[in-house]
Structure 1
Amino acid sequence: MRDLDETDLEILRLLLADARRPYSEIGDVVGLSGPAVSERVSRLREVGVIEQFTVNVDRSKLTERVRLLVDVAVEPGHASAVYDALLDADGTQHAYRSADAHVVAHVGRPDADVESWLADAVDTSVVDDYTVRVLAESEWTNSVADADFAISCAECGNTVTSEGTAARLGGELYQFCCPTCESRFREAYEDLAEDA
Protein backbone atom coordinates (compact mmCIF):
# COMPACT_ATOMS: atom_id res chain seq x y z
CA MET A 1 0.00 0.00 0.00
CA ARG A 2 1.19 3.49 -0.82
CA ASP A 3 1.32 5.90 2.13
CA LEU A 4 -1.20 8.70 2.18
CA ASP A 5 0.61 11.96 1.55
CA GLU A 6 0.31 15.75 1.74
CA THR A 7 -1.58 15.82 -1.54
CA ASP A 8 -4.22 13.51 -0.07
CA LEU A 9 -4.44 15.79 2.98
CA GLU A 10 -4.84 18.89 0.78
CA ILE A 11 -7.56 17.16 -1.24
CA LEU A 12 -9.37 16.39 2.03
CA ARG A 13 -9.07 20.02 3.16
CA LEU A 14 -10.51 21.24 -0.13
CA LEU A 15 -13.38 18.74 0.01
CA LEU A 16 -14.15 19.73 3.61
CA ALA A 17 -14.41 23.36 2.53
CA ASP A 18 -16.71 22.45 -0.39
CA ALA A 19 -17.54 18.81 -1.15
CA ARG A 20 -19.12 19.86 -4.46
CA ARG A 21 -15.91 21.46 -5.75
CA PRO A 22 -15.06 19.98 -9.18
CA TYR A 23 -12.11 17.59 -9.26
CA SER A 24 -10.56 19.68 -12.04
CA GLU A 25 -10.55 22.71 -9.70
CA ILE A 26 -9.01 20.63 -6.90
CA GLY A 27 -6.45 19.36 -9.41
CA ASP A 28 -5.45 22.94 -10.26
CA VAL A 29 -4.71 23.57 -6.57
CA VAL A 30 -2.78 20.35 -5.90
CA GLY A 31 -1.06 20.04 -9.29
CA LEU A 32 -2.93 16.98 -10.60
CA SER A 33 -5.42 16.34 -13.37
CA GLY A 34 -9.12 15.98 -12.56
CA PRO A 35 -9.06 12.22 -13.22
CA ALA A 36 -6.00 11.83 -10.94
CA VAL A 37 -7.89 13.63 -8.16
CA SER A 38 -10.91 11.39 -8.79
CA GLU A 39 -8.67 8.32 -8.48
CA ARG A 40 -7.24 9.57 -5.17
CA VAL A 41 -10.71 10.34 -3.80
CA SER A 42 -11.87 6.85 -4.79
CA ARG A 43 -8.87 5.35 -2.96
CA LEU A 44 -9.55 7.50 0.13
CA ARG A 45 -13.12 6.20 0.12
CA GLU A 46 -11.96 2.58 -0.32
CA VAL A 47 -9.61 2.73 2.66
CA GLY A 48 -12.26 4.42 4.81
CA VAL A 49 -10.70 7.89 5.19
CA ILE A 50 -13.72 9.40 3.41
CA GLU A 51 -16.94 7.78 4.58
CA GLN A 52 -19.50 9.90 2.79
CA PHE A 53 -20.24 13.25 1.25
CA THR A 54 -22.92 15.13 3.16
CA VAL A 55 -24.77 18.40 3.33
CA ASN A 56 -24.17 20.51 6.42
CA VAL A 57 -27.51 22.18 7.18
CA ASP A 58 -27.77 25.20 9.45
CA ARG A 59 -31.03 24.16 11.11
CA SER A 60 -31.43 27.57 12.72
CA LYS A 61 -32.14 28.96 9.23
CA LEU A 62 -35.00 26.52 8.64
CA THR A 63 -37.20 26.91 11.72
CA GLU A 64 -37.36 28.81 14.93
CA ARG A 65 -35.55 26.57 17.37
CA VAL A 66 -33.91 27.04 20.73
CA ARG A 67 -30.28 25.91 20.45
CA LEU A 68 -29.16 24.04 23.54
CA LEU A 69 -26.11 22.28 24.91
CA VAL A 70 -27.26 19.34 27.02
CA ASP A 71 -24.67 17.68 29.28
CA VAL A 72 -25.89 14.32 30.61
CA ALA A 73 -24.06 12.58 33.47
CA VAL A 74 -24.63 8.85 33.02
CA GLU A 75 -24.13 5.87 35.32
CA PRO A 76 -20.90 4.04 34.41
CA GLY A 77 -21.43 1.38 31.77
CA HIS A 78 -24.37 3.15 30.12
CA ALA A 79 -22.68 6.07 28.35
CA SER A 80 -22.43 4.29 24.97
CA ALA A 81 -26.14 3.45 24.93
CA VAL A 82 -27.11 7.00 25.93
CA TYR A 83 -24.74 8.42 23.32
CA ASP A 84 -26.28 6.25 20.58
CA ALA A 85 -29.81 7.19 21.69
CA LEU A 86 -29.02 10.91 21.73
CA LEU A 87 -27.44 10.71 18.27
CA ASP A 88 -30.78 9.39 16.98
CA ALA A 89 -32.93 11.81 19.00
CA ASP A 90 -34.96 14.45 17.19
CA GLY A 91 -33.09 17.73 17.02
CA THR A 92 -29.60 16.45 17.86
CA GLN A 93 -27.03 18.13 15.66
CA HIS A 94 -23.85 16.77 17.28
CA ALA A 95 -23.12 14.49 20.22
CA TYR A 96 -19.98 13.68 22.17
CA ARG A 97 -19.17 10.97 24.73
CA SER A 98 -16.40 11.61 27.24
CA ALA A 99 -14.33 9.08 29.14
CA ASP A 100 -15.94 10.12 32.44
CA ALA A 101 -19.46 8.89 31.48
CA HIS A 102 -20.81 12.21 30.22
CA VAL A 103 -22.69 12.65 26.98
CA VAL A 104 -22.97 16.15 25.58
CA ALA A 105 -25.43 16.95 22.79
CA HIS A 106 -25.89 20.08 20.71
CA VAL A 107 -29.65 20.17 20.22
CA GLY A 108 -32.14 22.34 18.35
CA ARG A 109 -35.62 22.23 19.94
CA PRO A 110 -38.85 24.09 19.18
CA ASP A 111 -38.95 24.81 22.93
CA ALA A 112 -36.62 24.44 25.89
CA ASP A 113 -38.44 21.41 27.32
CA VAL A 114 -35.38 19.19 27.67
CA GLU A 115 -36.88 16.98 30.37
CA SER A 116 -39.52 15.42 28.10
CA TRP A 117 -37.09 15.31 25.15
CA LEU A 118 -34.56 13.42 27.29
CA ALA A 119 -37.25 11.05 28.62
CA ASP A 120 -38.34 10.26 25.05
CA ALA A 121 -34.76 9.71 23.89
CA VAL A 122 -33.08 7.68 26.65
CA ASP A 123 -33.67 5.42 29.63
CA THR A 124 -33.62 8.12 32.32
CA SER A 125 -33.02 5.55 35.07
CA VAL A 126 -29.33 5.53 34.00
CA VAL A 127 -29.07 9.34 34.01
CA ASP A 128 -27.52 10.71 37.20
CA ASP A 129 -27.98 14.37 36.33
CA TYR A 130 -28.05 16.76 33.41
CA THR A 131 -27.42 20.44 32.77
CA VAL A 132 -28.76 22.59 29.98
CA ARG A 133 -27.24 25.73 28.54
CA VAL A 134 -28.87 27.94 25.93
CA LEU A 135 -26.35 28.57 23.18
CA ALA A 136 -25.77 32.13 22.05
CA GLU A 137 -23.57 31.00 19.18
CA SER A 138 -22.13 27.82 17.74
CA GLU A 139 -20.24 26.77 14.68
CA TRP A 140 -19.11 23.35 13.54
CA THR A 141 -15.77 23.12 11.78
CA ASN A 142 -14.71 19.85 10.25
CA SER A 143 -10.94 19.90 9.90
CA VAL A 144 -7.98 17.68 9.10
CA ALA A 145 -5.40 20.15 10.41
CA ASP A 146 -2.22 18.39 11.57
CA ALA A 147 -3.86 14.99 11.06
CA ASP A 148 -1.88 11.81 10.68
CA PHE A 149 -3.44 9.01 8.69
CA ALA A 150 -3.83 5.78 10.62
CA ILE A 151 -5.29 2.96 8.60
CA SER A 152 -5.75 -0.18 10.69
CA CYS A 153 -4.85 -3.69 9.65
CA ALA A 154 -7.99 -5.74 8.93
CA GLU A 155 -6.43 -8.75 10.68
CA CYS A 156 -4.65 -7.49 13.81
CA GLY A 157 -5.62 -3.81 14.14
CA ASN A 158 -2.04 -2.48 13.95
CA THR A 159 -1.34 0.66 11.91
CA VAL A 160 -0.66 -0.01 8.24
CA THR A 161 2.61 1.54 7.08
CA SER A 162 4.33 1.64 3.68
CA GLU A 163 5.35 -2.01 4.23
CA GLY A 164 1.67 -2.96 4.36
CA THR A 165 -0.33 -4.73 1.71
CA ALA A 166 -3.85 -4.53 0.36
CA ALA A 167 -6.18 -7.14 -1.08
CA ARG A 168 -9.60 -7.03 -2.68
CA LEU A 169 -11.81 -9.86 -1.42
CA GLY A 170 -15.48 -10.14 -2.32
CA GLY A 171 -15.44 -6.65 -3.80
CA GLU A 172 -14.09 -5.03 -0.61
CA LEU A 173 -10.60 -3.56 -0.25
CA TYR A 174 -8.78 -4.68 2.92
CA GLN A 175 -5.53 -3.19 4.27
CA PHE A 176 -2.90 -5.22 6.15
CA CYS A 177 0.20 -4.26 8.12
CA CYS A 178 2.21 -7.20 6.72
CA PRO A 179 1.96 -10.16 4.33
CA THR A 180 1.48 -12.56 7.27
CA CYS A 181 -1.70 -10.77 8.37
CA GLU A 182 -2.93 -10.73 4.78
CA SER A 183 -2.34 -14.48 4.49
CA ARG A 184 -4.17 -15.22 7.77
CA PHE A 185 -7.08 -13.00 6.78
CA ARG A 186 -7.32 -14.58 3.30
CA GLU A 187 -7.39 -18.07 4.81
CA ALA A 188 -10.15 -17.16 7.27
CA TYR A 189 -12.09 -15.33 4.53
CA GLU A 190 -11.86 -18.29 2.16
CA ASP A 191 -12.89 -20.73 4.93
CA LEU A 192 -15.96 -18.61 5.68
CA ALA A 193 -16.77 -18.33 1.99
CA GLU A 194 -16.63 -22.12 1.60
CA ASP A 195 -18.91 -22.65 4.62
CA ALA A 196 -21.48 -20.14 3.34
Structure 2
Amino acid sequence: MRTLDDIDREILRLLAADARRPYSEIAEAVDRSPPTVSERIDRLQELGVVRRFTVDIDRSLLDTGTPILLDVEVKPAEVESVRAALAESDRVEHVFVTADARVVAQVYVPDGGVRTFLAENVPFDAVREYDVSLLSESDWTPRVGEAELALTCAECGNTVTAEGESLRVDGERYHFCCPSCLDRFESTYERLSGGA
Protein backbone atom coordinates (compact mmCIF):
# COMPACT_ATOMS: atom_id res chain seq x y z
CA MET A 1 0.00 0.00 0.00
CA ARG A 2 1.32 3.42 -0.91
CA THR A 3 0.84 6.84 0.57
CA LEU A 4 -0.40 9.84 -1.36
CA ASP A 5 2.29 11.43 -3.48
CA ASP A 6 2.40 14.79 -5.25
CA ILE A 7 0.85 13.27 -8.39
CA ASP A 8 -2.10 11.87 -6.42
CA ARG A 9 -2.62 15.25 -4.75
CA GLU A 10 -2.50 17.07 -8.10
CA ILE A 11 -5.01 14.62 -9.58
CA LEU A 12 -7.28 15.30 -6.61
CA ARG A 13 -6.92 19.08 -7.09
CA LEU A 14 -7.78 18.77 -10.78
CA LEU A 15 -10.80 16.57 -10.06
CA ALA A 16 -11.99 18.93 -7.30
CA ALA A 17 -11.87 21.82 -9.78
CA ASP A 18 -13.69 19.85 -12.50
CA ALA A 19 -14.72 16.23 -11.93
CA ARG A 20 -15.63 15.88 -15.63
CA ARG A 21 -12.12 16.74 -16.75
CA PRO A 22 -10.96 14.10 -19.26
CA TYR A 23 -8.25 11.72 -18.09
CA SER A 24 -6.14 12.76 -21.08
CA GLU A 25 -6.15 16.36 -19.82
CA ILE A 26 -5.26 15.25 -16.28
CA ALA A 27 -2.52 13.02 -17.70
CA GLU A 28 -1.01 15.95 -19.56
CA ALA A 29 -1.11 18.12 -16.42
CA VAL A 30 0.69 15.51 -14.29
CA ASP A 31 3.00 14.29 -17.05
CA ARG A 32 1.71 10.71 -16.99
CA SER A 33 -0.22 8.53 -19.44
CA PRO A 34 -4.06 8.42 -19.37
CA PRO A 35 -4.04 4.72 -18.30
CA THR A 36 -1.74 5.60 -15.38
CA VAL A 37 -4.08 8.41 -14.34
CA SER A 38 -7.05 6.05 -14.64
CA GLU A 39 -5.31 3.48 -12.42
CA ARG A 40 -4.48 6.13 -9.82
CA ILE A 41 -8.07 7.42 -9.77
CA ASP A 42 -9.36 3.84 -9.47
CA ARG A 43 -6.99 3.30 -6.52
CA LEU A 44 -8.15 6.56 -4.88
CA GLN A 45 -11.75 5.41 -5.29
CA GLU A 46 -10.98 1.97 -3.91
CA LEU A 47 -9.30 3.55 -0.88
CA GLY A 48 -12.37 5.73 -0.36
CA VAL A 49 -10.47 9.00 -0.87
CA VAL A 50 -12.65 9.71 -3.92
CA ARG A 51 -16.19 8.70 -3.01
CA ARG A 52 -18.07 10.01 -6.01
CA PHE A 53 -18.02 12.52 -8.83
CA THR A 54 -20.58 15.28 -8.38
CA VAL A 55 -21.92 18.44 -9.96
CA ASP A 56 -21.49 21.97 -8.60
CA ILE A 57 -24.87 23.70 -8.98
CA ASP A 58 -25.03 27.49 -9.15
CA ARG A 59 -27.93 28.04 -6.75
CA SER A 60 -28.07 31.75 -7.60
CA LEU A 61 -29.63 30.77 -10.93
CA LEU A 62 -32.36 28.69 -9.27
CA ASP A 63 -35.22 29.78 -7.06
CA THR A 64 -34.82 27.29 -4.23
CA GLY A 65 -35.72 29.47 -1.25
CA THR A 66 -33.87 31.90 1.01
CA PRO A 67 -30.27 30.89 1.79
CA ILE A 68 -29.53 30.76 5.53
CA LEU A 69 -26.96 29.35 7.89
CA LEU A 70 -28.85 27.34 10.50
CA ASP A 71 -27.05 26.66 13.79
CA VAL A 72 -28.93 24.12 15.91
CA GLU A 73 -27.92 23.23 19.46
CA VAL A 74 -29.18 19.73 20.17
CA LYS A 75 -29.15 17.25 23.01
CA PRO A 76 -25.85 15.31 22.72
CA ALA A 77 -27.65 11.99 22.24
CA GLU A 78 -29.61 13.47 19.31
CA VAL A 79 -26.71 14.91 17.28
CA GLU A 80 -26.63 12.05 14.77
CA SER A 81 -30.39 11.92 14.24
CA VAL A 82 -30.56 15.69 13.65
CA ARG A 83 -27.52 15.58 11.33
CA ALA A 84 -29.04 12.71 9.34
CA ALA A 85 -32.45 14.41 9.13
CA LEU A 86 -30.91 17.63 7.81
CA ALA A 87 -28.63 15.78 5.39
CA GLU A 88 -31.65 14.02 3.85
CA SER A 89 -33.46 17.27 3.04
CA ASP A 90 -33.32 18.53 -0.54
CA ARG A 91 -33.10 22.06 0.86
CA VAL A 92 -29.83 21.47 2.72
CA GLU A 93 -26.56 22.13 0.92
CA HIS A 94 -23.99 21.33 3.64
CA VAL A 95 -24.14 19.93 7.17
CA PHE A 96 -21.45 20.27 9.83
CA VAL A 97 -21.31 18.82 13.35
CA THR A 98 -19.29 20.59 16.04
CA ALA A 99 -17.71 19.04 19.12
CA ASP A 100 -20.14 20.92 21.39
CA ALA A 101 -23.34 19.22 20.11
CA ARG A 102 -24.21 21.79 17.47
CA VAL A 103 -25.36 20.97 13.96
CA VAL A 104 -24.74 23.73 11.44
CA ALA A 105 -26.28 23.61 7.97
CA GLN A 106 -26.57 25.75 4.89
CA VAL A 107 -30.27 25.64 4.08
CA TYR A 108 -32.48 27.08 1.35
CA VAL A 109 -35.58 27.82 3.40
CA PRO A 110 -38.97 27.63 1.67
CA ASP A 111 -41.60 30.34 1.97
CA GLY A 112 -43.00 28.76 5.14
CA GLY A 113 -39.95 29.86 7.11
CA VAL A 114 -37.40 28.31 9.41
CA ARG A 115 -39.82 27.01 12.06
CA THR A 116 -41.86 25.19 9.43
CA PHE A 117 -38.70 23.75 7.86
CA LEU A 118 -37.43 22.53 11.25
CA ALA A 119 -40.82 21.09 12.24
CA GLU A 120 -40.99 19.14 8.98
CA ASN A 121 -37.38 17.91 8.98
CA VAL A 122 -35.95 17.68 12.50
CA PRO A 123 -37.21 15.89 15.60
CA PHE A 124 -37.97 19.19 17.34
CA ASP A 125 -37.81 17.74 20.88
CA ALA A 126 -34.09 17.15 20.19
CA VAL A 127 -33.50 20.89 19.61
CA ARG A 128 -32.39 22.99 22.57
CA GLU A 129 -32.14 26.23 20.60
CA TYR A 130 -31.34 27.44 17.14
CA ASP A 131 -29.91 30.50 15.47
CA VAL A 132 -30.44 31.70 11.91
CA SER A 133 -28.17 33.93 9.81
CA LEU A 134 -29.19 35.13 6.37
CA LEU A 135 -26.49 34.26 3.84
CA SER A 136 -25.58 36.87 1.27
CA GLU A 137 -23.00 34.64 -0.41
CA SER A 138 -21.36 31.25 -0.02
CA ASP A 139 -18.47 29.48 -1.65
CA TRP A 140 -17.53 25.81 -1.35
CA THR A 141 -14.01 25.06 -2.48
CA PRO A 142 -12.62 21.66 -1.41
CA ARG A 143 -8.87 21.82 -0.87
CA VAL A 144 -6.32 19.03 -0.90
CA GLY A 145 -3.30 20.92 0.38
CA GLU A 146 -0.49 18.62 1.45
CA ALA A 147 -2.87 15.91 2.66
CA GLU A 148 -1.55 12.48 3.55
CA LEU A 149 -3.42 9.20 3.39
CA ALA A 150 -4.93 8.47 6.83
CA LEU A 151 -6.47 4.99 6.77
CA THR A 152 -7.55 3.27 9.98
CA CYS A 153 -6.92 -0.40 10.68
CA ALA A 154 -10.22 -2.32 10.56
CA GLU A 155 -9.00 -4.62 13.33
CA CYS A 156 -7.23 -2.48 15.95
CA GLY A 157 -7.97 1.13 14.96
CA ASN A 158 -4.32 2.13 14.51
CA THR A 159 -3.19 4.23 11.57
CA VAL A 160 -2.31 2.23 8.46
CA THR A 161 1.11 3.16 7.09
CA ALA A 162 2.68 2.45 3.70
CA GLU A 163 3.53 -1.06 4.97
CA GLY A 164 -0.13 -1.82 5.67
CA GLU A 165 -2.24 -4.38 3.86
CA SER A 166 -5.72 -4.48 2.34
CA LEU A 167 -8.34 -7.16 1.92
CA ARG A 168 -11.58 -7.18 -0.06
CA VAL A 169 -14.45 -9.03 1.65
CA ASP A 170 -17.92 -9.20 0.11
CA GLY A 171 -17.14 -6.28 -2.18
CA GLU A 172 -15.86 -3.99 0.57
CA ARG A 173 -12.20 -3.13 1.06
CA TYR A 174 -10.68 -3.24 4.56
CA HIS A 175 -7.27 -1.85 5.54
CA PHE A 176 -4.88 -3.23 8.17
CA CYS A 177 -1.78 -1.86 9.84
CA CYS A 178 0.02 -5.22 9.90
CA PRO A 179 -0.27 -8.85 8.77
CA SER A 180 -1.34 -10.04 12.24
CA CYS A 181 -4.35 -7.68 12.25
CA LEU A 182 -5.30 -8.94 8.79
CA ASP A 183 -5.00 -12.56 10.00
CA ARG A 184 -7.14 -11.86 13.11
CA PHE A 185 -9.78 -10.12 10.98
CA GLU A 186 -9.86 -13.01 8.47
CA SER A 187 -10.18 -15.65 11.19
CA THR A 188 -12.94 -13.72 12.96
CA TYR A 189 -14.76 -13.24 9.66
CA GLU A 190 -14.45 -16.94 8.76
CA ARG A 191 -15.62 -17.98 12.23
CA LEU A 192 -18.63 -15.64 12.16
CA SER A 193 -19.60 -16.39 8.56
CA GLY A 194 -19.28 -20.13 9.21
CA GLY A 195 -21.78 -19.88 12.05
CA ALA A 196 -24.25 -17.77 10.08
Instruction: State the TM-score, normalized to the length of structure 2.
Output: 0.93
Counterpart residue number, 1:70: 70
Structure 2 residue matching 1:54: 3-state secondary structure: coil
Give the residue type in structure 2 aligned to 1:88.
Answer: E
List aligned pairs for 1:1-196, cutoff 5 A: 1-63=1-63, 65-111=65-111, 113-196=113-196
Structure 1 residue matching 2:157: 3-state secondary structure: coil
Distance in 1, matches of 2:131 and 2:112, equals 12
RMSD of aligned Cα (Å):
1.6
Go from structure 1 to structure 2 and tell me whether the alpha carbon gap of 1:76 and 1:163 turns closer, same or farther (over 3 Å shift): same
Give the residue type in structure 2 aligned to 1:109.
Answer: V
Q: Is the CA contact (8 Å cut-off) linking 1:13 and 1:143 kept in structure 2?
A: yes
- Per the TM alignment, residue 61 of structure 1 is displaced from its structure 2 partner at its CA by 1.4
Structure 1 residue matching 2:138: 3-state secondary structure: coil
Distance in 1, matches of 2:96 and 2:161, equals 30
> How many residues in Structure 1 have an aligned counterpart in Structure 2?
196
Distance in 1, matches of 2:153 and 2:64, equals 46
- Per the TM alignment, residue 194 of structure 1 is displaced from its structure 2 partner at its CA by 2.6
Structure 1 residue matching 2:84: 3-state secondary structure: helix
Instruction: State the TM-score, normalized to the length of structure 1.
Output: 0.93
Q: Is the CA contact (8 Å cut-off) linking 1:59 and 1:108 kept in structure 2?
A: no
How high is the sequence identity, in percent, across the aligned residues?
51
**Unmatched tracts of structure 2, length 5 or more:** none
- When structure 1 is superposed on structure 2, of 62-71 and 25-34 the one drifting more is 62-71
- Per the TM alignment, residue 112 of structure 1 is displaced from its structure 2 partner at its CA by 6.3
